[in-house]
């Protein structure tokens, strides 16, 4: 034990005697290839440009006509809001209303009213998925080219008409033209199809809607 | 600018959101930057900006960013090209974008739902928060449109996704909610009813891309009615889901 301790101490002294002058010599001599004393631990920060305006939402109003099956054509108006996921795919919520006219039967018979005034209000909403199938540009005059897209939408929703809510399948096609970077003009054709038994037997009605709309991206 | 905002406010009541704030210049690192005439891959490249030049980022729409060169020429550039640009401080520009990891590491899901519940059609929205890739907290609201009654259904619940890293994964879920039923006037039992309900369900979900998935689900509901017997009803739905 005693001997081991002595060997340890001795070897410590010998080691120190060799290394200290060596270090001193190194410090005094030619500079070594700059040792990296501190490893840089600073991770590069990712910079998302501040203030870059992401404009994937689109909202606006539309007006046009709707042909309500058996009840003639009426003025239709409403609003839409859309979110563009990619340049190809978007989701859209639409709400619209119109006042239905009279059936031919009501006109001819003169008196018999099928629906009350409030029941003639035709209000519909739908949630749709849209696909910008044909993107492109339209040319206005000789100097202006505006980005455009022909799109198709498919969705489901509800129509309140004749005192009842009807499950509605909305199938649409439209043209969107960007007037500038953030205002778009829409021409839309949609078919709102739902089943109703209003006139006796149950049947699927197709209600075609043609509208002109203006939206803003934000 | 002010006039444009006023027009926007008048047109749509969306006043402030369109202020296109520039975000400072970035320096091009690619051999060149392709400027397109519109925000899409089909639009023609009409101008290129050389390496070392600086451009200003104006606005972003989906994966496309409108940039303006010092000379005033502006056009749309794809996000991926701008990720190889540097800020004046020499730091890389990052623009958030979905990757394959997004499939398992996303936090939120929103979707459009349609389907059927005991003969009635279902249309609604759903949302989910991914507490972990396999455990989701969900909520949904739907309108029910049937031949004999209409109504509303709102639920909250949890779902377990077995293998979120698979392209198609099964999942199971349980939850509870409220069912409001409004029978049509011609029926014998014309009272509106609001009942609490609980469900157990199973389904399949499959990724369409790194941002979308399609989900099909079957749920069995137990409706806790005020009558003697509870009612059991089935629902099946399909939904189109966006995750981020």
Looking at residue B235, its pLDDT comes to: 94
Question: In the prediction, which pLDDT does A40 show?
Answer: 59
How much is the average pLDDT of A24-50? 56
What is the rounded CA–CA span in Å between residue B65 and residue B97?
13
Mean pLDDT of chain A: 83
In this structure, what token pair is assigned to residue B128? 């989910």
Lowest average pLDDT, out of A177-191, B96-110, B218-232, goes to: B96-110
The beta-carbon neighbor of A52 closest among B38, B57, B112 is: B57
Q: How confident is the model at residue B119 (pLDDT cuts 50, 70, 90)?
A: confident
**What is the Cα Rg of chain B in Å?**
25
Compute the average pLDDT of residues A139-159: 91
User: Which domains occur in chain B, in start order?
Assistant: 2-86 (2.30.30.40), 102-243 (2.40.160.20)
Q: Which of residues 153-182 of B touch A (CB under 8 A)?
A: none
Question: Whose CA is closest to A63, among A191, A215, A182?
Answer: A215
Check A218 against B14: CB less than 8 A apart: yes
When mean pLDDT is compared across A26-35, A61-70, A197-206, B70-79, the lowest value belongs to A26-35
Nearest to A145 among B37, B95, B112 (CB): B37
Across the interface, of A128, A214, A217, the residue whose CB is closest to B11 is A214
- For residues B215-244, give the mean pLDDT: 90
The answer to pTM > 0.90 is: no
Contact at 8 Å (CB) between A150 and A175? yes
Which residues are paired to B79 by β-bridges?
A: none
What does chain B come to in residues? 244
Q: Is the pLDDT of residue B135 over 80?
A: yes
Mean pLDDT of A32-45: 60
Q: Are B7 and B54 in contact (CB under 8 A)?
A: no
Round the CA-based radius of gyration of chain A to a whole number and report it. Answer: 38
Interface of B with A in 64-83 (CB under 8 A): 64-66
Q: How far apart are CA B34 and CA B50, in angstroms?
A: 9
Q: Is the ipTM of this complex over 0.85?
A: no
Domains and CATH numbers, chain A: 58-217 (2.40.160.20)
Closest CA to B25 of B50, B49, B57: B57
- Residue A11 to chain B, least CA–CA distance (Å): 53
Q: If residue A148 lies in a helix (H) or strand (E), which one and from where to where?
A: strand A144-161
The CA angle B31-B98-B206, to the nearest 5 degrees, is 135
Task: Return the closest-CA partner of residue B150 out of B181, B192, B119.
Answer: B181
Going by pLDDT thresholds of 50, 70 and 90, the confidence category of residue B23 is: low
Closest CA to A62 of A175, A218, A207: A175
Q: Give me the mean pLDDT over the B146-160 stretch.
A: 91
CB B113 within 8 A of CB B102: no
CA distance B163 to chain A (A): 25
Share of chain A above pLDDT 90, in %: 49
């Amino acid at each position: 034990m005693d001997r081991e301790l002595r060997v340890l101490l001795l070897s410590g002294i010998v080691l120190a005697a060799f290394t200290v002058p060596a270090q001193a010599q190194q410090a005094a001599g030619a500079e070594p290839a700059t040792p990296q004393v501190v490893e840089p631990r600073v991770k590069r920060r990712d910079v998302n440009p501040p203030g870059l305006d992401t404009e994937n939402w689109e909202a606006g109003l539309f007006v046009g006509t709707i042909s309500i099956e058996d009840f003639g054509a009426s003025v239709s108006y409403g609003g839409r809001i859309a979110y563009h996921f990619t340049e190809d795919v978007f989701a859209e919520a639409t709400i619209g209303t119109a006042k239905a006219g009279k059936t031919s039967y009501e006109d001819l018979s003169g008196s018999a009213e099928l629906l009350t005034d409030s029941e003639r209000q035709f209000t519909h909403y739908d949630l749709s998925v849209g696909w910008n199938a044909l993107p492109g540009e339209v040319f206005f005059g000789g100097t202006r080219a505006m980005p455009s897209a022909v799109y198709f939408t498919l969705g489901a929703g509800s129509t309140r008409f004749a005192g009842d809510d009807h499950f509605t399948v909305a199938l649409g096609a439209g043209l969107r033209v960007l007037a500038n970077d953030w205002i778009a003009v829409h021409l839309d054709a949609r078919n709102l199809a739902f089943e109703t038994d209003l006139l006796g037997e149950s049947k699927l009605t197709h209600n075609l809607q043609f509208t002109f709309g203006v939206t803003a991206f934000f | 600018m002010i006039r444009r905002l006023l027009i926007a406010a008048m047109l749509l009541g969306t006043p402030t959101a369109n202020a296109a704030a520039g975000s400072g210049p970035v320096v091009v690192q690619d051999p060149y930057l392709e400027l397109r005439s519109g925000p899409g891959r089909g639009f023609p490249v009409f101008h290129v900006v050389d390496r070392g030049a600086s451009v200003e980022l104006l606005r972003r729409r989906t994966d496309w960013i409108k940039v303006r060169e010092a000379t005033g020429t502006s056009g749309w550039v794809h996000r991926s090209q701008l990720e190889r640009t540097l800020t004046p401080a020499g730091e890389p520009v990052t623009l958030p974008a979905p990757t394959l990891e997004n499939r398992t590491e996303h936090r939120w899901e929103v979707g459009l739902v349609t389907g059927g519940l005991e003969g009635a059609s279902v249309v609604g929205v759903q949302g989910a928060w991914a507490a972990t890739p396999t455990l989701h907290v969900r909520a949904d609201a739907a309108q029910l449109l049937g031949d004999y009654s209409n109504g509303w259904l709102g639920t909250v619940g949890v779902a377990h996704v077995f293998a979120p890293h698979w392209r198609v994964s099964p999942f199971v879920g349980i939850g509870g909610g409220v069912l409001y039923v409004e029978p049509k006037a011609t029926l014998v039992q014309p009272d509106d009813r609001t009942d609490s309900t609980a469900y157990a369900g199973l389904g399949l979900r499959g990724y369409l891309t790194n941002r979308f998935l399609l989900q099909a689900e079957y749920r069995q509901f137990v409706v806790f009615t005020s009558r003697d017997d509870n009612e059991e009803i089935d629902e099946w739905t399909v939904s189109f889901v966006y995750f981020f």
